[in-house]
Amino acid sequence: MTISKKIENIVAGSSFIRKMFEEGAKLKQQYGAENVYDFSLGNPNMAPPEKFNEVLRDIVSTCGLDDHCYMPNTGYPMVCGSVADYLSREQEVSVSDKDVLMTCGASGALNVALKSVLDPGDEVLTPAPCFVEYKFYADNHGGVLKKVQTTSEFQLDMQAIEAAITPRTKVFLINSPNNPTGAVYSEKRMRQLGELLTRKSNELDRTIYLLSDEPYRKIVFDGVKVPSIFTAYNDSLIGTSYSKDVSIPGERIGFLAVNPRARHRNALLGAMAVANRILGYVNAPALMQRVVACIQGLSVDISEYKRKRDMLCEGLASFGYDFVKPEGTFYLFPRSPIADDIEFVDTLKDERILVVPGTGFDGPGHFRIAFCVDDATIAGALPGFKRAIEKYR
Ligand SMILES: Cc1ncc(COP(=O)(O)O)c(C=O)c1O
């Protein structure tokens, strides 16, 4: 073999997702894309806000040579400053431009954070179900991803977390609002988590970092608020992006921020700048940095996602599907009517509906519907969802 064993195994393990993608493409060719109901990808379907295009046009029209040059690995200080001002309000903690590193999306932020803190064999603990890529990100930097089950409502289970922390735990990685469940962790839970991590760090004489992956922070419904991470726990980092809420995942722009009260703040900031460089990102895309500096707080119309969620939830509930109504994101994670979620996903495929089995997210017995799609896709799929569940009555 000419490729690494590790990558060979990852490629082989990805064949299931690839197979789904290929079968979806085949179905679209056979029946026409408009007759296939594709809920498989978390690719936002709304165009970015017009303000984003205006700022982009303005910046492009005034770009000179200097605007395309190398820069500090952390990003343009002016851009970090603009993010820090916004974060200070959001987190209710005074954040400075020095606490912010611009990254290639949330994935870039997570990889920089993990590269900065993990030693070989260190454990990254995360609540399951969880984002598929986490195990690769931990492994990229010599870490091992460990999962801890959530409650039946997909909320943090403090007892289970306490039992899962070991002397090798270095990072507790959360994602709220959550992909794939749509769960949001309340302020009370975050406070409890902060207390638990403080106690365990003291007991184990080791800093356990709280890493908050939050590209869906702004996508919340019904007045739900995502609490401040920085006030909940001092040794915390936030990794996020503009991918989902501004609908620009292809532009690869996000940031990693360190809690200014973190014990090893300066060492962390130095490590992050180097990690961004040696991972080969060097710095986040220059043009997009300048754009996001001018659109802090901007997002697509979130009420559109709420409307889609309600349309889907009302339909599925009336057919007898069981689910926890998502408080945020554009994902719904219903229970599969049969234990074998992969078989049920195949049944849905027979109805030309494409979703992802929960097994892929460490949430077996469920399936994920990404409802960042046109209304017509939801409306067109509902009769198929009904027929699919009826097959098992
Ligand atoms: C939970 C979670 N984290 C991180 C990412 C990656 O985001 P980005 O495209 O900004 O790297 C995604 C994308 O789907 C996600 O769902």
d(CA 180, CA 191): 23
Distance 369 CA to ligand 1 centre (A): 16
Residues with CB under 6 A from ligand 1: 42, 105-107, 131, 175, 179, 213, 215, 241, 243, 249, 254
Distance 44 CA to ligand 1 centre (A): 12
Give yes or no for a contact between 112 and 103, defined as CB atoms under 8 angstroms apart.
yes
Picking from 211, 141, 132, 230, the residue whose alpha carbon sits closest to that of residue 171 is 211
Residue 14, token pair as written in the block = 């990805």
Q: Which atom of ligand 1 is nearest to the CA of 243?
A: 10
Distance 215 CA to ligand 1 centre (A): 6
Distance 129 CA to ligand 1 centre (A): 15
Distance 180 CA to ligand 1 centre (A): 11
pLDDT at 13: 83
**Helix, strand or coil, per DSSP, at residue 216:** coil
Residue 316, token pair as written in the block = 């599925």
Count of Cβ atoms closer than 10 Å to residue 178 Cβ: 28
Q: Which atom of ligand 1 is nearest to the CA of 213?
A: 3
Give yes or no for a contact between 135 and 13, defined as CB atoms under 8 angstroms apart.
no
Picking from 337, 339, 359, the residue whose alpha carbon sits closest to that of residue 348 is 337
Taking the CA atoms of 136, 139, 141 and 144 in sequence, report the sign of the dihedral they define. positive
* Ligand 1 pocket: which of 244, 246, 292, 372 to mutate (most atoms within 8 A of CB): 244
pTM above 0.85, yes or no: yes
- The mean pLDDT values, 10 residues at a time, for the chain of 393 residues are 90 76 87 93 95 98 93 98 98 98 98 98 98 96 98 98 98 98 98 98 98 98 98 98 98 98 98 98 98 98 98 98 98 98 96 95 97 97 98 93
Q: Which atom of ligand 1 is nearest to the CA of 329?
A: 16
* Ligand 1 pocket: which of 107, 252, 372 to mutate (most atoms within 8 A of CB): 107
Count of Cβ atoms closer than 10 Å to residue 304 Cβ: 14
Cα→Cα distances 90→98, 110, 330, Å = 17, 20, 22
* Ligand 1 pocket: which of 213, 216, 251, 329 to mutate (most atoms within 8 A of CB): 213
pLDDT at 21: 78
DSSP classification of residue 49: P
Distance 47 CA to ligand 1 centre (A): 18
Contacts of 204 (CB under 8 A, 6+ apart): 165, 167, 169
Picking from 252, 250, 242, 237, the residue whose alpha carbon sits closest to that of residue 215 is 242
Q: b vs e for 119-158, b when ≥16 Cβ sit within 10 Å of the residue's Cβ?
A: eeebbbbbbbbbbeebbebbbebebbbbbbebeeebbbbe
**Helix, strand or coil, per DSSP, at residue 30:** helix
Distance 216 CA to ligand 1 centre (A): 9
pLDDT at 15: 67
Note every long-range contact of 60-68, with CB atoms under 8 Å and residues 24 or more positions apart, other chains counting: 60/287, 63/287, 67/286, 67/287, 67/290, 68/286
Picking from 30, 28, 24, the residue whose alpha carbon sits closest to that of residue 349 is 24
Q: Which residue minimizes the CA distance to atom 14 of ligand 1? A: 42
pLDDT at 47: 97
Contacts of 121 (CB under 8 A, 6+ apart): 142, 143, 144, 168
Distance 387 CA to ligand 1 centre (A): 32
Q: Which atom of ligand 1 is nearest to the CA of 109?
A: 11
Distance 204 CA to ligand 1 centre (A): 31
